[in-house]
Amino acid sequence: MPVIQLNVLLKSAGITHSSSGNLVEISNIAIDSRKVSKGSLFVAIKGSEQDGHKYIRKAIDAGASAIVCQEKADVPDDILMVLVEDSADAAGRLASAFYGHPSEALKLVGVTGTNGKTTTVTLLYQLMKQLGHRTGLISTVENIVNGRVVVATHTTPDPVELNALLAEMVAVGCEYAFMEVSSHAAHQKRISGLRFEGAVFTNITHDHLDYHKTFDDYIAAKKSFFDGLASGSFALVNGDDRRSDIMLQNTKASKHFYSLRRSSEFKGKIFENTLEGLEMEIDGLHAHLLLIGEFNAYNALCAYGICRLLGFEREVILTGLSALPGARGRFETVRDMNRGVLYIVDYAHTPDALEKVLKTIEVMKQKGGIITVVGCGGHRDKEKRPKMGAIAASLSREAIFTDDNPRDENPADITAAMMDGVDDADRNKVLIINDRAQAIKTAAKLASRGDIVLVAGKGHETYQEGMNGKIDFDDRRVIEDIIGR
């Protein structure tokens, strides 16, 4: 852990302050009072649920030597208080400075959008490792420091954890780092102080309105990522998404587009889309990919565009992409060879993602029907529940509504809200089984040879979050147990 004089840290972070007490040495930086130790700098942030200013006294009692806050607080004379306009922004800049501005020593690329972030950054990480480059990954599924896996707790970590990860990547010689940038992270300024080589926009659809309240606010949060780019960076956006131009309105970065449908710098075309993979033309070259579905064609094309902007040759990129399997829990297939049933585990937890997955399966299936197991999370965007229910019922032969991290909300209320969106003609196709394991087992019993069972919503997750906290739960393990029996 580095040790730095506070006045040096403030100057490096671009925060001006004059005081006789600024010669104190800082050995730790924290935004969580539970992580304060002796010699810490505690940054009090106003969060969506908690206000860090309420924990200033607790941080001082735990050994904090200095406090950064945006509201004046009553602190002892020997504690330095630094008042700032926005403590969330200050936390990012201070964390970056404390760890030696690690993002400036890497080619850091951030990917934002409703869908496709995880697969895109995972493809990029896999490709760079395949090409022999030391690389880091920060994603919803896992964080990886050149092969060493670090468990991910958020799509984008808090600024202290994020900069610590980036500093570790620099320490082991990473050249590149690829990270998901969630709308929450952009809005909460977790990425303040970072220098991005490039920013990428995949798409935007209905999601996270429990947090952002309006769709315009959700768009604005994504756009703020691009607004903060330096002039030497690149901005790559999906030209087929009608809101891509909005992302580029105020950016200083160079502007680039990828597309399957309109003319663009990085153009793709699908020739064949089957359960064995994609046959495509990308940037004028023929490519065979192990990835499945149009949505993955976009992800691969996006990854290709990023690599080109990073300076890699076309043939090198496509040769590498052709061997990559994609991200865990994203259209991941498990085959029951004895019964002739295909299971697909996918993270689709938004109406748009669920619809795309189901339409992809419908196009590719040769015979049989689709059975969908899906739920919606508790205490999250309630507006999407009837939409998810309607999509699952209308695009499946049979649908089972079940739990998906209900948290401390009544699971029956969630599935009832999903049923509210189902047309009368489709209601007889729907079962409600709140026990998720039992729902998957029931889908297996209903399936016949040639059928496809989609288990949607949780993807890579290995837990279920209910009223009694988290328990171990993995959709894939349930399926594997069914097949094993």
User: Which among 268, 291, 321 is the end of a domain?
Assistant: 321
**Containing structural domain, residue 268:** 102-321
Residue 327 in any domain: the answer is no
Residue 185 in any domain: the answer is yes
Per-residue pLDDT of the chain (485 residues; tens, 9 = 90+): 678 999 899 999 999 875 555 678 999 999 999 999 999 999 999 987 789 999 999 999 999 999 999 999 889 988 999 999 999 999 999 999 999 999 999 999 999 998 899 999 999 999 999 999 999 999 988 899 999 998 776 667 899 999 999 999 999 999 999 999 988 888 899 999 999 999 999 998 755 445 445 767 778 888 999 999 999 999 999 999 988 999 999 999 999 999 999 999 999 999 999 888 999 999 999 999 999 999 999 999 999 999 999 999 999 999 999 999 888 899 999 999 999 999 999 999 999 889 999 999 998 888 899 999 999 999 888 999 999 999 999 999 999 999 999 999 999 999 999 999 999 999 999 999 999 999 999 999 999 999 999 999 999 999 999 988 999 999 999 999 999 86
User: Which among 65, 98, 131 is the end of a domain?
Assistant: 98
Record the tokens describing residue 134, joined without a space: 């030391």
Q: Read off the CATH number of the domain in which 68 is found.
A: 3.40.1390.10
Domain shared by 450 and 370, yes or no: yes
Strand 469-472 versus strand 80-83 pairing type: unpaired
Domain shared by 204 and 273, yes or no: yes
- Closest by CA to 316, choosing from 307, 328, 325, is 307
Residue 314 in any domain: the answer is yes
Domain shared by 392 and 456, yes or no: yes
Domain shared by 176 and 301, yes or no: yes
CA distance 394 to 234: 41
Domain shared by 14 and 157, yes or no: no
User: Which among 321, 356, 379 is the end of a domain?
Assistant: 321
Total tally of structural domains belonging to the chain: 3
Residue 361 in any domain: the answer is yes
Domain shared by 293 and 180, yes or no: yes
CA distance 478 to 402: 14
Domain shared by 54 and 126, yes or no: no
Cβ count near 41 (within 10 Å): 28
Residue 382 in any domain: the answer is yes
Cβ count near 443 (within 10 Å): 26
Residues, the chain, total? Answer: 485
pTM: 0.85
Residue 267 in any domain: the answer is yes
Domain shared by 70 and 176, yes or no: no
Domain shared by 348 and 238, yes or no: no
CA distance 269 to 272: 9
Domain shared by 236 and 250, yes or no: yes
DSSP letter for each residue of 249-306: TT--SEEEEEESSS--SEEEEEEEEETTEEEEEETTEEEEES--SHHHHHHHHHHHHH
Bridge-partner residues for 373, per DSSP? 400, 455
Q: Read off the CATH number of the domain in which 414 is found.
A: 3.90.190.20
Domain shared by 225 and 358, yes or no: no
Domain shared by 94 and 108, yes or no: no
